[in-house]
């Protein structure tokens, strides 16, 4: 493999492309708002397509609006190695989440051109539609259709809060392609910012992502008796918020109990009637459990159900627990993980194995293709926020590793 040593991407060009793309939908606070299938999303897609055509790629758009920019291989009958992510953002999103994986893929193509390298398999850079799910729920819907998780009709019929469907909006912005959704992929890689604080805190440049956490999402309705905060003695109260508060503490304890790999979060709570002098009669709350092992998620589920029952019995409350979403843990492909590790070793980057805490298009791709992910740090672990940031060095390092991993799977010819 000596001929592959010190193969370099152009880190400055990758950084500049990120900054240029960040102008589309730029917010005053330095982030971006590029909601899926808006005019701004179209402008981002157009710029990406222009860049890819300039790099000699052909463009295919499938019926979910997923874009594939293809650099031919020596044997174009072989399934492509695909890399990419998404261009859509949160309403108050940053300059890296999603777009980094897309433009790191473009930079790999540009660098292969600069280096005059041919690959056995074609290499494609993918843009997945509506990864964030901020405008059209659920998240990762178009990569989900690609992987057979959702039907095409389901995907196209997802509607935004104004009732506009993805199908209508794809047609409106000119990205309702005619290619079928889903086809063989030889390998899939996705580069992404970590969206958590671990790499930066440990001074590591690359996260070798071995797994993605499984998730269980719950909705709880806790029911007590609404009554007047003045004339109702403490001993006669059935305070739904007191129960909910103890459940928040319980969920946190479960997270610590199954540390270090468990996460347990109550993110949403709505109190009824939410009046300062009325004892709350009802609380709606959510629970988000994550762990890379299904068996542990089941243990967490059991601990929560038992704890909630005990808390509610003590106060005299009713509790309904609905698991509304289940997302199985993903173990990425060992050969793809190994290809990422080789890229790290090649360049001598500091690295550690990681479990992805967030969902990514790669989690669905992993169902239909050997898949790996490359993480780079983000400053203070902050993401889904206009202040989201990363350094040019991290951005460049992730691109280097991605190039190396793609070459490993696509087969370097010359």
Q: Any binding-site annotation on 186? A: no
Q: Any binding-site annotation on 132? A: yes
| Owner of token pair 């859509």 | 88
Nearer to a copy of itself, 205 or 412 (CB): 205
Task: Compute CA distances 235 → 75, 223, 316, whole Å.
Answer: 77, 17, 11
Q: Any binding-site annotation on 360? A: no
Nearest approach in angstroms of CB 222 to a copy of itself is 12
Q: Any binding-site annotation on 331? A: no
If you write DSSP's letter for every residue of 203-265 in order, what string do you get? T-SEEEEEEE-EEEEEEEEEE-B-EETTTS-GGG-B-HHHHHHHHHHHHHHHHHHTTTT-EEE
Applying CB under 8 A, the residues found at the interface with a copy of itself are 194-198, 201, 213, 215, 217, 226-236, 239, 241-242, 244-246, 248-249, 252, 255-256, 259-260, 262-271, 274-280, 286, 288, 290, 356-359, 381-385
Nearest approach in angstroms of CB 110 to a copy of itself is 29
Beta strands in 25-136 (DSSP E): 58-61, 67-71, 81-85, 123-127
Nearest approach in angstroms of CB 235 to a copy of itself is 7
Alpha-carbon distance 342 to 345, whole Å?
Answer: 5
CA angle 259, 263, 267 (to 5 degrees): 145
Torsion, Cα of 110, 115, 121, 123 (10° steps)? -10
Q: Any binding-site annotation on 384? A: yes
Nearest approach in angstroms of CB 193 to a copy of itself is 10
Nearer to a copy of itself, 1 or 268 (CB): 268
Nearer to a copy of itself, 17 or 130 (CB): 130
Please choose, from the candidates 270, 265, 261, the residue with its C-alpha nearest in 3D space to the C-alpha of residue 248: 265
Nearer to a copy of itself, 118 or 219 (CB): 219
Collapse the DSSP code of 314 into the 3-class scheme (helix H, G, I; strand E, B; otherwise coil) and give the result. helix
Nearer to a copy of itself, 208 or 358 (CB): 358
Nearer to a copy of itself, 69 or 287 (CB): 287
Question: What crossing angle do the helices spanning 11-22 and 392-410 adopt, rounded to 10°?
Answer: 110
Nearer to a copy of itself, 104 or 254 (CB): 254
Nearest approach in angstroms of CB 375 to a copy of itself is 9
Nearest approach in angstroms of CB 101 to a copy of itself is 15
- Report CA Rg, the chain: 23
Q: Is the Cβ–Cβ distance between 170 and 342 less than 8 Å?
A: no
If you write DSSP's letter for every residue of 139-192 in order, what string do you get? TTHHHHHHTTSS-HHHHHH-B-TTS-BHHHHHHHHT----B-S----SEEEEEE
Nearest approach in angstroms of CB 264 to a copy of itself is 7
DSSP H helical ranges for 274-325? 294-315
Nearer to a copy of itself, 28 or 230 (CB): 230
Nearest approach in angstroms of CB 388 to a copy of itself is 11
Which segments are annotated as binding site? 86, 97, 132, 192, 384
Which residues contribute to the annotated binding site for Zn(2+)? 86, 97, 132, 192, 384
């Amino acid at each position: 493999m000596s001929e592959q040593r010190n193969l370099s991407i152009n880190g400055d060009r990758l950084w500049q492309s990120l900054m240029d793309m960040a102008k589309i939908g730029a917010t005053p606070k330095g982030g971006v708002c590029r909601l899926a299938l808006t005019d701004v999303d179209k402008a981002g897609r157009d710029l990406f397509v222009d860049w890819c055509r300039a790099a000699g790629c052909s463009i295919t758009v499938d019926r979910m609006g997923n874009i594939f920019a293809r650099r031919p291989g020596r044997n174009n009958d072989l399934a492509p190695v695909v890399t990419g992510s998404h261009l859509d953002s949160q309403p108050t999103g940053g300059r890296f989440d999603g777009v980094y994986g897309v433009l790191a893929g473009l930079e790999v193509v540009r660098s292969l051109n600069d280096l005059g390298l041919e690959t056995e398999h074609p290499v494609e850079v993918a843009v997945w539609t509506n990864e964030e799910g901020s405008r059209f729920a659920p998240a990762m819907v178009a990569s989900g259709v690609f992987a057979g998780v959702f039907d095409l009709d389901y995907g196209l019929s997802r509607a935004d809060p104004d009732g506009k469907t993805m199908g209508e909006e794809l047609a409106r912005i000119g990205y309702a392609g005619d290619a079928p959704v889903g086809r063989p992929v030889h390998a899939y890689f996705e580069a992404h910012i970590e969206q958590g604080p671990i790499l930066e805190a440990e001074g590591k440049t690359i996260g070798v992502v071995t797994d993605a956490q499984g998730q269980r999402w719950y909705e709880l309705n806790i029911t007590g008796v609404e009554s007047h905060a003045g004339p109702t003695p403490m001993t006669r109260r059935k305070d739904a918020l007191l129960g909910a508060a103890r459940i928040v503490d319980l969920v946190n304890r479960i997270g610590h109990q199954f540390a270090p790999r468990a996460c347990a979060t109550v993110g949403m709570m709505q109190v009824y009637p939410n009046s300062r002098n009325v004892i709350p009669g009802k609380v709606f709350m959510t629970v988000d459990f994550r762990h890379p092992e299904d068996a542990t998620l089941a243990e967490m589920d059991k601990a929560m159900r038992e704890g909630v029952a005990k808390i509610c019995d003590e106060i005299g409350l009713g509790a309904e627990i609905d698991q509304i979403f289940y997302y199985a843990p993903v173990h990425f492909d060992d050969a793809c993980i190994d290809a990422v590790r080789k890229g790290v070793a090649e360049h001598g980057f500091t690295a550690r194995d990681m479990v992805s805490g967030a969902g990514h298009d790669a989690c669905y791709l992993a169902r239909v293709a050997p898949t790996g992910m490359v993480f780079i740090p983000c400053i203070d672990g902050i993401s889904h926020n206009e202040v989201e940031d990363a350094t040019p060095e991290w951005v460049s390092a992730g691109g280097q590793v991605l190039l190396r991993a793609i070459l490993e799977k696509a087969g370097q010819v010359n």
